[in-house]
Structure 1
Amino acid sequence: MSDYKAFRVELADKIAQVVINRPEKINAMNADFWSEIIEIFRWIDATDEIRVVVIRGEGKHFSSGIDLMMLAQIGAQLGPDVGRNADTLRRKILQLQASFTAIDQCRKPVLAAIQGYCLGGAIDLIAACDMRYASSDAQFSIKEIDIGMAADVGTLQRLPRIIGDGMMRELAFTGRTIDGEEARRIGLVNRVYDDQAQLLEGVLDIAREIAAKSPIAVRGTKEMIRYMRDHRVDDGLEYVATWNAAMLQSADLRVAMAAQMSKQKPEFAD
Protein backbone atom coordinates (compact mmCIF):
# COMPACT_ATOMS: atom_id res chain seq x y z
CA MET A 1 0.00 0.00 0.00
CA SER A 2 1.15 3.54 -0.76
CA ASP A 3 0.59 6.82 1.02
CA TYR A 4 -2.40 8.63 -0.44
CA LYS A 5 -3.47 12.25 -0.15
CA ALA A 6 -7.23 11.75 -0.38
CA PHE A 7 -7.52 8.28 1.17
CA ARG A 8 -6.40 6.04 3.98
CA VAL A 9 -6.29 2.33 3.16
CA GLU A 10 -6.29 -0.42 5.78
CA LEU A 11 -6.09 -4.19 5.34
CA ALA A 12 -7.06 -6.63 8.10
CA ASP A 13 -8.87 -9.98 8.20
CA LYS A 14 -8.89 -10.09 4.38
CA ILE A 15 -10.98 -6.89 4.28
CA ALA A 16 -9.65 -3.70 2.71
CA GLN A 17 -11.08 -0.51 4.18
CA VAL A 18 -10.86 2.39 1.74
CA VAL A 19 -11.43 5.57 3.77
CA ILE A 20 -12.03 8.94 2.09
CA ASN A 21 -9.76 11.00 4.30
CA ARG A 22 -10.55 14.71 3.85
CA PRO A 23 -12.90 15.29 6.81
CA GLU A 24 -11.95 18.97 7.03
CA LYS A 25 -13.35 19.38 3.49
CA ILE A 26 -16.41 17.14 4.12
CA ASN A 27 -14.54 14.48 2.11
CA ALA A 28 -15.02 16.45 -1.11
CA MET A 29 -13.60 14.70 -4.17
CA ASN A 30 -10.55 16.66 -5.34
CA ALA A 31 -8.11 15.84 -8.15
CA ASP A 32 -6.13 13.45 -5.91
CA PHE A 33 -9.32 11.53 -5.11
CA TRP A 34 -10.09 10.77 -8.76
CA SER A 35 -6.63 9.51 -9.65
CA GLU A 36 -5.90 7.66 -6.41
CA ILE A 37 -9.11 5.63 -6.39
CA ILE A 38 -8.13 3.99 -9.68
CA GLU A 39 -4.71 3.10 -8.26
CA ILE A 40 -6.26 1.74 -5.05
CA PHE A 41 -8.76 -0.49 -6.81
CA ARG A 42 -6.10 -1.74 -9.22
CA TRP A 43 -4.11 -2.83 -6.16
CA ILE A 44 -7.21 -4.39 -4.57
CA ASP A 45 -7.99 -6.34 -7.73
CA ALA A 46 -4.44 -7.69 -7.93
CA THR A 47 -4.11 -8.63 -4.23
CA ASP A 48 -5.48 -12.11 -3.62
CA GLU A 49 -5.38 -11.65 0.15
CA ILE A 50 -8.18 -9.10 -0.16
CA ARG A 51 -11.61 -10.71 -0.42
CA VAL A 52 -13.98 -7.84 0.42
CA VAL A 53 -13.79 -4.02 0.31
CA VAL A 54 -15.49 -1.52 2.60
CA ILE A 55 -15.48 2.10 1.43
CA ARG A 56 -16.37 4.82 3.91
CA GLY A 57 -15.72 8.43 4.83
CA GLU A 58 -13.65 9.76 7.72
CA GLY A 59 -15.46 12.00 10.20
CA LYS A 60 -19.12 13.01 10.32
CA HIS A 61 -19.85 12.67 6.61
CA PHE A 62 -19.36 10.15 3.82
CA SER A 63 -18.74 12.77 1.11
CA SER A 64 -20.15 16.08 -0.10
CA GLY A 65 -19.34 15.12 -3.71
CA ILE A 66 -17.02 16.68 -6.25
CA ASP A 67 -14.78 19.48 -4.99
CA LEU A 68 -16.08 22.76 -6.45
CA MET A 69 -12.52 24.11 -6.57
CA MET A 70 -11.68 21.31 -8.97
CA LEU A 71 -14.64 22.25 -11.18
CA ALA A 72 -13.42 25.85 -11.18
CA GLN A 73 -9.93 24.71 -12.23
CA ILE A 74 -11.40 22.73 -15.12
CA GLY A 75 -13.41 25.78 -16.17
CA ALA A 76 -10.26 27.92 -16.13
CA GLN A 77 -8.70 25.64 -18.77
CA LEU A 78 -11.39 26.45 -21.32
CA GLY A 79 -10.79 28.94 -24.11
CA PRO A 80 -12.80 30.69 -26.83
CA ASP A 81 -13.07 27.67 -29.19
CA VAL A 82 -16.30 25.73 -28.55
CA GLY A 83 -15.11 22.61 -30.37
CA ARG A 84 -11.86 22.38 -28.41
CA ASN A 85 -13.67 23.11 -25.16
CA ALA A 86 -16.10 20.29 -25.87
CA ASP A 87 -13.24 17.88 -26.57
CA THR A 88 -11.46 18.89 -23.36
CA LEU A 89 -14.59 18.49 -21.25
CA ARG A 90 -15.52 15.16 -22.82
CA ARG A 91 -12.09 13.70 -22.10
CA LYS A 92 -12.23 14.97 -18.53
CA ILE A 93 -15.68 13.48 -17.93
CA LEU A 94 -14.53 10.12 -19.31
CA GLN A 95 -11.53 10.21 -16.95
CA LEU A 96 -13.82 10.80 -13.96
CA GLN A 97 -16.16 8.04 -15.09
CA ALA A 98 -13.21 5.62 -15.20
CA SER A 99 -12.61 6.21 -11.49
CA PHE A 100 -15.97 4.72 -10.53
CA THR A 101 -15.90 2.11 -13.27
CA ALA A 102 -12.82 0.78 -11.44
CA ILE A 103 -15.08 0.15 -8.42
CA ASP A 104 -17.86 -1.38 -10.53
CA GLN A 105 -15.45 -3.75 -12.27
CA CYS A 106 -13.55 -4.78 -9.13
CA ARG A 107 -13.52 -8.57 -8.77
CA LYS A 108 -14.18 -8.29 -5.03
CA PRO A 109 -17.51 -7.26 -3.44
CA VAL A 110 -17.51 -3.57 -2.47
CA LEU A 111 -19.66 -2.42 0.48
CA ALA A 112 -20.34 1.27 1.13
CA ALA A 113 -20.82 2.47 4.74
CA ILE A 114 -22.53 5.87 4.56
CA GLN A 115 -23.02 8.44 7.30
CA GLY A 116 -23.95 12.10 7.10
CA TYR A 117 -23.78 13.76 3.69
CA CYS A 118 -23.79 11.61 0.56
CA LEU A 119 -24.27 14.22 -2.13
CA GLY A 120 -23.75 14.64 -5.86
CA GLY A 121 -20.67 12.69 -6.94
CA ALA A 122 -20.92 10.56 -3.79
CA ILE A 123 -24.16 9.10 -5.20
CA ASP A 124 -22.23 8.19 -8.36
CA LEU A 125 -19.69 6.44 -6.12
CA ILE A 126 -22.11 4.37 -4.06
CA ALA A 127 -24.08 3.42 -7.19
CA ALA A 128 -20.91 1.65 -8.39
CA CYS A 129 -20.70 -0.41 -5.18
CA ASP A 130 -22.28 -3.83 -4.70
CA MET A 131 -24.14 -3.02 -1.48
CA ARG A 132 -24.86 0.13 0.49
CA TYR A 133 -25.54 0.61 4.22
CA ALA A 134 -26.34 3.82 6.10
CA SER A 135 -26.58 5.35 9.53
CA SER A 136 -29.83 7.03 10.51
CA ASP A 137 -28.32 10.51 10.04
CA ALA A 138 -27.37 9.88 6.39
CA GLN A 139 -28.59 12.40 3.80
CA PHE A 140 -28.66 11.53 0.10
CA SER A 141 -29.14 13.96 -2.79
CA ILE A 142 -28.46 14.02 -6.52
CA LYS A 143 -27.31 17.64 -6.26
CA GLU A 144 -26.11 18.16 -9.83
CA ILE A 145 -29.49 19.53 -10.91
CA ASP A 146 -29.04 22.39 -8.41
CA ILE A 147 -25.76 23.52 -9.99
CA GLY A 148 -27.22 23.48 -13.48
CA MET A 149 -25.93 20.18 -14.87
CA ALA A 150 -26.89 16.56 -15.41
CA ALA A 151 -25.09 13.98 -13.28
CA ASP A 152 -22.45 12.50 -15.57
CA VAL A 153 -20.30 10.02 -13.60
CA GLY A 154 -22.68 7.06 -13.32
CA THR A 155 -25.73 7.96 -11.21
CA LEU A 156 -28.19 8.20 -14.11
CA GLN A 157 -26.83 4.98 -15.65
CA ARG A 158 -26.51 2.75 -12.57
CA LEU A 159 -29.15 4.03 -10.15
CA PRO A 160 -32.25 2.92 -12.16
CA ARG A 161 -31.10 -0.69 -11.69
CA ILE A 162 -30.92 -0.13 -7.94
CA ILE A 163 -33.99 1.97 -7.05
CA GLY A 164 -36.04 1.83 -10.25
CA ASP A 165 -36.46 4.29 -13.08
CA GLY A 166 -39.33 6.39 -11.69
CA MET A 167 -37.74 7.05 -8.30
CA MET A 168 -34.39 7.82 -9.90
CA ARG A 169 -36.09 10.40 -12.14
CA GLU A 170 -37.82 12.04 -9.17
CA LEU A 171 -34.59 12.39 -7.22
CA ALA A 172 -32.59 13.52 -10.26
CA PHE A 173 -35.14 16.12 -11.42
CA THR A 174 -35.83 17.60 -7.96
CA GLY A 175 -32.47 17.19 -6.21
CA ARG A 176 -34.40 16.63 -2.98
CA THR A 177 -32.69 15.13 0.02
CA ILE A 178 -33.76 11.78 1.45
CA ASP A 179 -32.76 10.33 4.81
CA GLY A 180 -31.43 6.90 5.66
CA GLU A 181 -34.85 5.37 6.31
CA GLU A 182 -36.28 6.52 2.97
CA ALA A 183 -33.12 5.32 1.28
CA ARG A 184 -33.74 1.88 2.78
CA ARG A 185 -37.40 1.96 1.77
CA ILE A 186 -36.62 2.63 -1.90
CA GLY A 187 -33.81 0.08 -1.99
CA LEU A 188 -30.85 2.46 -2.17
CA VAL A 189 -29.41 0.99 1.03
CA ASN A 190 -29.84 -2.50 2.46
CA ARG A 191 -29.95 -1.59 6.15
CA VAL A 192 -29.95 1.45 8.42
CA TYR A 193 -28.04 1.56 11.71
CA ASP A 194 -28.65 3.88 14.66
CA ASP A 195 -25.27 5.60 14.57
CA GLN A 196 -21.89 5.59 12.85
CA ALA A 197 -20.27 3.14 15.27
CA GLN A 198 -23.03 0.57 14.77
CA LEU A 199 -22.89 1.18 11.03
CA LEU A 200 -19.20 0.34 10.80
CA GLU A 201 -19.53 -2.65 13.11
CA GLY A 202 -22.51 -4.00 11.15
CA VAL A 203 -20.88 -3.53 7.75
CA LEU A 204 -17.63 -5.15 8.89
CA ASP A 205 -19.64 -8.12 10.24
CA ILE A 206 -21.20 -8.58 6.79
CA ALA A 207 -17.79 -8.17 5.15
CA ARG A 208 -16.29 -10.85 7.42
CA GLU A 209 -19.13 -13.21 6.56
CA ILE A 210 -18.44 -12.76 2.83
CA ALA A 211 -14.66 -13.03 3.35
CA ALA A 212 -15.14 -16.46 4.93
CA LYS A 213 -16.73 -17.83 1.75
CA SER A 214 -14.91 -19.33 -1.21
CA PRO A 215 -13.26 -16.47 -3.11
CA ILE A 216 -13.78 -18.44 -6.33
CA ALA A 217 -17.52 -18.69 -5.64
CA VAL A 218 -17.80 -15.02 -4.64
CA ARG A 219 -15.91 -13.93 -7.74
CA GLY A 220 -18.15 -16.02 -10.00
CA THR A 221 -21.32 -14.78 -8.31
CA LYS A 222 -20.33 -11.12 -8.75
CA GLU A 223 -19.36 -11.67 -12.37
CA MET A 224 -22.68 -13.35 -13.20
CA ILE A 225 -24.73 -10.61 -11.52
CA ARG A 226 -22.77 -7.89 -13.33
CA TYR A 227 -23.05 -9.68 -16.67
CA MET A 228 -26.83 -9.94 -16.37
CA ARG A 229 -27.29 -6.16 -16.25
CA ASP A 230 -26.70 -5.97 -19.99
CA HIS A 231 -27.72 -9.40 -21.31
CA ARG A 232 -30.74 -11.63 -21.78
CA VAL A 233 -31.50 -14.54 -19.47
CA ASP A 234 -30.44 -17.14 -22.06
CA ASP A 235 -27.13 -15.31 -22.55
CA GLY A 236 -26.57 -15.38 -18.80
CA LEU A 237 -27.35 -19.08 -18.53
CA GLU A 238 -24.90 -19.85 -21.34
CA TYR A 239 -22.22 -17.72 -19.70
CA VAL A 240 -22.55 -19.28 -16.24
CA ALA A 241 -22.44 -22.77 -17.77
CA THR A 242 -19.15 -21.93 -19.48
CA TRP A 243 -17.80 -20.20 -16.36
CA ASN A 244 -18.66 -23.05 -13.99
CA ALA A 245 -17.31 -25.67 -16.37
CA ALA A 246 -13.93 -24.42 -15.16
CA MET A 247 -14.71 -23.09 -11.69
CA LEU A 248 -16.47 -26.24 -10.44
CA GLN A 249 -13.08 -27.95 -10.70
CA SER A 250 -11.72 -25.66 -7.97
CA ALA A 251 -10.57 -27.21 -4.71
CA ASP A 252 -12.96 -24.82 -2.97
CA LEU A 253 -15.92 -26.99 -3.93
CA ARG A 254 -14.41 -30.06 -2.21
CA VAL A 255 -13.44 -27.98 0.84
CA ALA A 256 -16.95 -26.54 1.13
CA MET A 257 -18.66 -29.92 0.75
CA ALA A 258 -16.36 -31.56 3.29
CA ALA A 259 -17.03 -28.74 5.75
CA GLN A 260 -20.79 -29.10 5.28
CA MET A 261 -20.66 -32.84 5.95
CA SER A 262 -18.40 -32.50 9.00
CA LYS A 263 -20.17 -29.36 10.28
CA GLN A 264 -16.82 -27.56 10.44
CA LYS A 265 -15.96 -24.04 9.30
CA PRO A 266 -14.21 -24.22 5.90
CA GLU A 267 -10.84 -22.54 5.30
CA PHE A 268 -10.30 -21.44 1.71
CA ALA A 269 -7.03 -20.48 0.05
CA ASP A 270 -6.70 -16.91 -1.21
Structure 2
Amino acid sequence: MDLGTFETLLVEQAGDALVVTVNRPSAMNALAGQVIADLEALTVAVETQVGSDGRWPVKGIVVTGAGEKAFVAGADIVEMQTMSPDQGEAYSRRMQGVTRRLEALPVPVIAAVNGFALGGGCELAMACDWIYASRNARFGQPEVNLGLVPGFGGSVRLAQRVGIALARELILTGRMIDADEALRVGLVNRVFDDPVALLQGALDTVAELATKSPVAVASCKALMGEVLPLPVVEGLDREAQAFRRAFETEDKAEGVRAFVAKEKPTFPGR
Protein backbone atom coordinates (compact mmCIF):
# COMPACT_ATOMS: atom_id res chain seq x y z
CA MET A 1 0.00 0.00 0.00
CA ASP A 2 1.79 3.12 -1.25
CA LEU A 3 0.66 6.24 0.59
CA GLY A 4 3.65 8.42 -0.23
CA THR A 5 6.28 9.88 2.08
CA PHE A 6 5.79 12.31 4.93
CA GLU A 7 8.14 14.69 6.69
CA THR A 8 6.55 14.49 10.14
CA LEU A 9 4.75 11.13 10.13
CA LEU A 10 5.95 7.55 10.39
CA VAL A 11 3.54 5.29 8.52
CA GLU A 12 3.86 1.52 8.56
CA GLN A 13 1.58 -1.45 8.07
CA ALA A 14 1.37 -3.98 10.89
CA GLY A 15 -0.83 -6.87 9.78
CA ASP A 16 -4.24 -5.44 8.99
CA ALA A 17 -3.45 -2.16 10.75
CA LEU A 18 -1.92 1.03 9.45
CA VAL A 19 0.09 2.63 12.27
CA VAL A 20 0.49 6.39 11.93
CA THR A 21 2.94 8.04 14.33
CA VAL A 22 3.24 11.80 14.68
CA ASN A 23 7.01 12.12 14.76
CA ARG A 24 8.16 15.40 16.30
CA PRO A 25 9.25 14.21 19.75
CA SER A 26 11.57 17.19 20.28
CA ALA A 27 8.47 19.43 20.08
CA MET A 28 6.26 16.93 21.91
CA ASN A 29 4.63 16.15 18.55
CA ALA A 30 2.94 19.55 18.37
CA LEU A 31 0.67 20.15 15.37
CA ALA A 32 2.84 22.42 13.27
CA GLY A 33 1.64 23.37 9.83
CA GLN A 34 3.75 20.61 8.27
CA VAL A 35 2.16 17.98 10.53
CA ILE A 36 -1.28 19.14 9.46
CA ALA A 37 -0.25 19.08 5.80
CA ASP A 38 1.10 15.55 6.22
CA LEU A 39 -2.06 14.36 7.99
CA GLU A 40 -4.15 15.93 5.25
CA ALA A 41 -2.14 14.19 2.52
CA LEU A 42 -2.30 10.88 4.36
CA THR A 43 -6.07 10.94 4.78
CA VAL A 44 -6.54 11.81 1.10
CA ALA A 45 -4.30 8.89 0.12
CA VAL A 46 -6.17 6.47 2.39
CA GLU A 47 -9.53 7.66 1.02
CA THR A 48 -8.49 6.75 -2.52
CA GLN A 49 -7.02 3.33 -1.71
CA VAL A 50 -9.19 1.79 0.99
CA GLY A 51 -12.67 0.48 0.30
CA SER A 52 -12.72 1.11 -3.44
CA ASP A 53 -13.71 -1.82 -5.66
CA GLY A 54 -13.53 -4.25 -2.76
CA ARG A 55 -9.91 -3.31 -1.90
CA TRP A 56 -9.31 -3.32 1.84
CA PRO A 57 -5.52 -3.33 2.29
CA VAL A 58 -6.01 -2.24 5.90
CA LYS A 59 -8.92 -2.85 8.27
CA GLY A 60 -8.10 -0.15 10.80
CA ILE A 61 -5.78 2.77 11.52
CA VAL A 62 -3.90 3.42 14.76
CA VAL A 63 -2.80 7.01 15.40
CA THR A 64 -0.15 7.58 18.07
CA GLY A 65 2.77 9.85 18.97
CA ALA A 66 6.52 9.28 19.00
CA GLY A 67 8.10 8.84 22.43
CA GLU A 68 6.47 8.39 25.81
CA LYS A 69 6.02 12.05 26.81
CA ALA A 70 3.29 13.06 24.38
CA PHE A 71 0.72 11.76 21.96
CA VAL A 72 0.37 15.31 20.67
CA ALA A 73 0.97 18.09 23.19
CA GLY A 74 -1.22 20.51 21.26
CA ALA A 75 -1.08 23.11 18.52
CA ASP A 76 2.29 24.64 17.70
CA ILE A 77 2.37 27.69 19.98
CA VAL A 78 5.60 29.01 18.45
CA GLU A 79 4.00 29.11 15.00
CA MET A 80 0.80 30.63 16.39
CA GLN A 81 2.70 33.50 18.01
CA THR A 82 3.14 35.30 14.68
CA MET A 83 -0.19 34.40 13.06
CA SER A 84 -2.66 37.09 12.04
CA PRO A 85 -6.37 36.57 12.75
CA ASP A 86 -6.89 35.42 9.16
CA GLN A 87 -3.98 32.98 9.43
CA GLY A 88 -5.33 31.71 12.74
CA GLU A 89 -8.71 30.98 11.17
CA ALA A 90 -7.05 29.22 8.23
CA TYR A 91 -4.98 27.12 10.67
CA SER A 92 -8.14 26.13 12.52
CA ARG A 93 -10.11 25.30 9.39
CA ARG A 94 -7.33 23.22 7.85
CA MET A 95 -6.96 21.02 10.94
CA GLN A 96 -10.74 20.80 11.27
CA GLY A 97 -10.71 19.44 7.73
CA VAL A 98 -8.23 16.75 8.77
CA THR A 99 -10.43 15.72 11.70
CA ARG A 100 -13.48 15.50 9.47
CA ARG A 101 -11.57 13.36 6.98
CA LEU A 102 -10.52 11.00 9.79
CA GLU A 103 -14.15 10.67 10.85
CA ALA A 104 -15.20 9.94 7.26
CA LEU A 105 -12.60 7.25 6.51
CA PRO A 106 -14.23 3.88 5.74
CA VAL A 107 -12.15 2.04 8.36
CA PRO A 108 -12.09 2.57 12.14
CA VAL A 109 -9.42 4.91 13.48
CA ILE A 110 -8.08 4.29 17.00
CA ALA A 111 -6.14 6.91 18.94
CA ALA A 112 -3.42 5.27 21.05
CA VAL A 113 -2.62 8.05 23.51
CA ASN A 114 0.70 7.94 25.32
CA GLY A 115 1.50 10.96 27.50
CA PHE A 116 0.01 14.39 26.90
CA ALA A 117 -3.00 14.89 24.63
CA LEU A 118 -3.72 18.55 25.20
CA GLY A 119 -5.57 21.10 23.10
CA GLY A 120 -5.09 20.06 19.49
CA GLY A 121 -3.79 16.68 20.64
CA CYS A 122 -6.98 15.96 22.55
CA GLU A 123 -8.95 17.20 19.55
CA LEU A 124 -7.03 14.89 17.19
CA ALA A 125 -7.70 11.95 19.52
CA MET A 126 -11.43 12.78 19.69
CA ALA A 127 -11.64 12.81 15.88
CA CYS A 128 -10.71 9.12 15.99
CA ASP A 129 -13.47 6.58 16.47
CA TRP A 130 -12.31 5.75 19.97
CA ILE A 131 -9.37 6.31 22.28
CA TYR A 132 -7.10 3.88 24.11
CA ALA A 133 -4.70 5.36 26.66
CA SER A 134 -1.58 4.36 28.53
CA ARG A 135 -1.46 4.90 32.28
CA ASN A 136 0.62 8.07 31.84
CA ALA A 137 -1.84 9.77 29.49
CA ARG A 138 -3.14 13.25 30.32
CA PHE A 139 -6.02 14.97 28.54
CA GLY A 140 -7.21 18.56 28.48
CA GLN A 141 -8.30 21.63 26.54
CA PRO A 142 -6.10 24.32 28.11
CA GLU A 143 -6.64 27.01 25.47
CA VAL A 144 -8.06 29.50 28.02
CA ASN A 145 -4.61 29.61 29.62
CA LEU A 146 -3.35 31.21 26.39
CA GLY A 147 -6.31 33.51 25.84
CA LEU A 148 -7.65 31.17 23.16
CA VAL A 149 -10.59 28.86 22.49
CA PRO A 150 -10.47 25.31 21.11
CA GLY A 151 -9.86 25.51 17.38
CA PHE A 152 -9.78 21.95 16.09
CA GLY A 153 -13.18 20.67 17.24
CA GLY A 154 -12.90 20.52 21.03
CA SER A 155 -15.96 22.67 21.70
CA VAL A 156 -18.07 20.20 19.71
CA ARG A 157 -16.57 16.75 20.23
CA LEU A 158 -15.72 16.94 23.93
CA ALA A 159 -19.37 17.52 24.80
CA GLN A 160 -20.35 14.57 22.60
CA ARG A 161 -17.91 12.36 24.50
CA VAL A 162 -18.38 13.41 28.14
CA GLY A 163 -21.56 15.52 28.25
CA ILE A 164 -22.04 19.28 28.13
CA ALA A 165 -21.54 20.04 31.84
CA LEU A 166 -18.18 18.31 32.18
CA ALA A 167 -17.05 19.63 28.80
CA ARG A 168 -17.79 23.16 29.97
CA GLU A 169 -15.85 22.58 33.19
CA LEU A 170 -12.81 21.19 31.40
CA ILE A 171 -12.75 23.84 28.66
CA LEU A 172 -13.46 26.83 30.91
CA THR A 173 -10.96 25.82 33.59
CA GLY A 174 -8.36 24.30 31.27
CA ARG A 175 -7.97 21.46 33.79
CA MET A 176 -6.15 18.27 32.83
CA ILE A 177 -7.47 14.83 33.70
CA ASP A 178 -5.49 11.60 33.95
CA ALA A 179 -6.17 8.33 32.16
CA ASP A 180 -8.26 6.82 34.95
CA GLU A 181 -10.55 9.83 35.12
CA ALA A 182 -10.77 9.93 31.33
CA LEU A 183 -11.89 6.29 31.43
CA ARG A 184 -14.44 7.00 34.16
CA VAL A 185 -16.06 9.89 32.29
CA GLY A 186 -16.13 8.07 28.95
CA LEU A 187 -13.44 9.98 27.08
CA VAL A 188 -11.35 6.83 26.62
CA ASN A 189 -12.41 3.22 26.14
CA ARG A 190 -9.52 1.35 27.77
CA VAL A 191 -6.39 2.08 29.81
CA PHE A 192 -3.16 0.07 29.46
CA ASP A 193 -0.23 -0.09 31.84
CA ASP A 194 2.43 1.12 29.40
CA PRO A 195 2.91 2.30 25.78
CA VAL A 196 3.92 -1.18 24.59
CA ALA A 197 0.72 -2.74 25.92
CA LEU A 198 -1.22 0.23 24.55
CA LEU A 199 -0.03 -0.26 20.98
CA GLN A 200 -0.53 -4.02 21.19
CA GLY A 201 -4.06 -3.52 22.49
CA ALA A 202 -4.87 -1.28 19.52
CA LEU A 203 -3.36 -3.79 17.08
CA ASP A 204 -5.33 -6.62 18.69
CA THR A 205 -8.53 -4.67 18.19
CA VAL A 206 -7.74 -4.09 14.52
CA ALA A 207 -7.07 -7.84 14.18
CA GLU A 208 -10.54 -8.43 15.62
CA LEU A 209 -12.03 -5.90 13.20
CA ALA A 210 -10.37 -7.75 10.33
CA THR A 211 -12.64 -10.75 10.95
CA LYS A 212 -15.76 -8.66 10.27
CA SER A 213 -17.33 -7.57 7.00
CA PRO A 214 -15.38 -4.47 5.96
CA VAL A 215 -18.40 -3.18 4.07
CA ALA A 216 -20.61 -3.55 7.16
CA VAL A 217 -18.00 -1.92 9.40
CA ALA A 218 -17.70 1.02 7.01
CA SER A 219 -21.48 1.33 6.76
CA CYS A 220 -21.90 1.23 10.54
CA LYS A 221 -19.26 3.93 10.98
CA ALA A 222 -20.86 6.18 8.37
CA LEU A 223 -24.36 5.59 9.72
CA MET A 224 -23.42 6.41 13.31
CA GLY A 225 -21.80 9.65 12.23
CA GLU A 226 -24.79 10.55 10.11
CA VAL A 227 -27.50 9.95 12.71
CA LEU A 228 -25.66 11.53 15.67
CA PRO A 229 -27.16 15.03 15.26
CA LEU A 230 -30.60 13.85 14.08
CA PRO A 231 -33.87 13.49 16.01
CA VAL A 232 -34.76 9.87 16.81
CA VAL A 233 -37.39 9.45 14.09
CA GLU A 234 -35.10 10.80 11.36
CA GLY A 235 -32.21 8.71 12.65
CA LEU A 236 -34.31 5.54 12.55
CA ASP A 237 -35.31 6.30 8.97
CA ARG A 238 -31.65 6.65 7.94
CA GLU A 239 -30.90 3.39 9.74
CA ALA A 240 -33.63 1.55 7.84
CA GLN A 241 -32.24 2.88 4.55
CA ALA A 242 -28.74 1.68 5.47
CA PHE A 243 -30.16 -1.69 6.50
CA ARG A 244 -31.75 -2.02 3.07
CA ARG A 245 -28.49 -1.16 1.31
CA ALA A 246 -26.73 -3.89 3.31
CA PHE A 247 -29.02 -6.44 1.66
CA GLU A 248 -27.53 -5.44 -1.70
CA THR A 249 -23.97 -6.39 -0.72
CA GLU A 250 -22.01 -9.57 -1.36
CA ASP A 251 -20.74 -9.39 2.24
CA LYS A 252 -24.31 -9.78 3.54
CA ALA A 253 -24.88 -12.81 1.32
CA GLU A 254 -21.62 -14.42 2.48
CA GLY A 255 -22.19 -13.62 6.15
CA VAL A 256 -25.69 -15.11 6.20
CA ARG A 257 -24.62 -18.14 4.15
CA ALA A 258 -21.72 -18.88 6.50
CA PHE A 259 -23.89 -18.47 9.60
CA VAL A 260 -26.48 -20.93 8.33
CA ALA A 261 -23.74 -23.37 7.27
CA LYS A 262 -21.95 -22.95 10.63
CA GLU A 263 -18.79 -21.82 8.84
CA LYS A 264 -16.49 -18.83 9.19
CA PRO A 265 -17.33 -16.24 6.55
CA THR A 266 -14.86 -15.10 3.93
CA PHE A 267 -16.01 -11.60 3.14
CA PRO A 268 -15.26 -10.32 -0.38
CA GLY A 269 -15.43 -6.69 0.74
CA ARG A 270 -18.21 -5.73 -1.66
Shift of 1:17: 1.1
Aligned partner of 2:27 in structure 1 is 25
Residue pair 1:44, 1:50 contacting (<8 A) in 2 also: no
1:93-130 superposed Cα distances (whole Å, 9 cap, x missing partner): 22232121211222221110001111111011111111
CA offset at residue 19 of structure 1? Answer: 0.9
Which residue in 1 is equivalent to 2:224? 225
On the 8 A contact 2:16/2:206 being kept in 1, the answer is no
Structure 2 length-normalised TM? 0.91
- Aligned equivalents of 1:40, 1:89: Cα separation in 2: 23
Give structure 1 stretches of 5+ with no counterpart: 79-85
**Equivalent position of 2:39 in the other structure:** 37
Deviations 1:164-183 (A, max 9, x none): 11111111111111110000
Identity value in percent: 32
Which residue does the alignment assign to 1:55?
A: 63
Query: TM-score when scaled to structure 1?
Result: 0.91
- CA offsets per residue over residues 174-202 of structure 1, 9 Å max, x none? 11111100000000000101111111111
Q: In the alignment, is the contact (CA less than 8 A) between 1:115 and 1:134 conserved in 2?
A: yes
Q: How do residues 141-160 of structure 1 correspond to structure 2 at under 5 angstroms?
A: 141-160=140-159
1:169 aligns with 2:171: no
**Contiguous gaps of at least 5 residues in structure 2:** 51-56
Q: Residue 112 of structure 1 aligns with which residue? A: 111
- Which is further off, 177-186 or 14-23? 14-23
Between 22-31 and 42-51, the greater mean CA deviation after superposition? 42-51
1:1-270 to structure 2, matched below 5 A, reads: 1-48=3-50, 49-60=57-68, 61-74=70-83, 78=84, 86-270=85-269
CA contact (8 A) 1:45 1:108 kept: no
Aligned partner of 1:81 in structure 2 is: none
Alpha-carbon distance in structure 2 between the residues aligned to 1:27 and 1:169 = 26
Output the aligned Cα RMSD.
1.6
Q: Secondary structure at the match of 2:139?
A: strand
Deviations for 1:22-43, whole angstroms, at most 9, x for unmatched residues?
Answer: 1122111111111111111111
Secondary structure of the 1:159 match is helix
Task: Report the CA distance between 1:88 and its aligned residue.
Answer: 4.4
Residue in 2 that maps onto 1:82: none
1:15 aligned partner, one-letter code: A
Deviation at 1:141, TM superposition (A): 1.6
Could you tell me how far apart the structure 2 residues matched to 1:167 and 1:91 are? 29
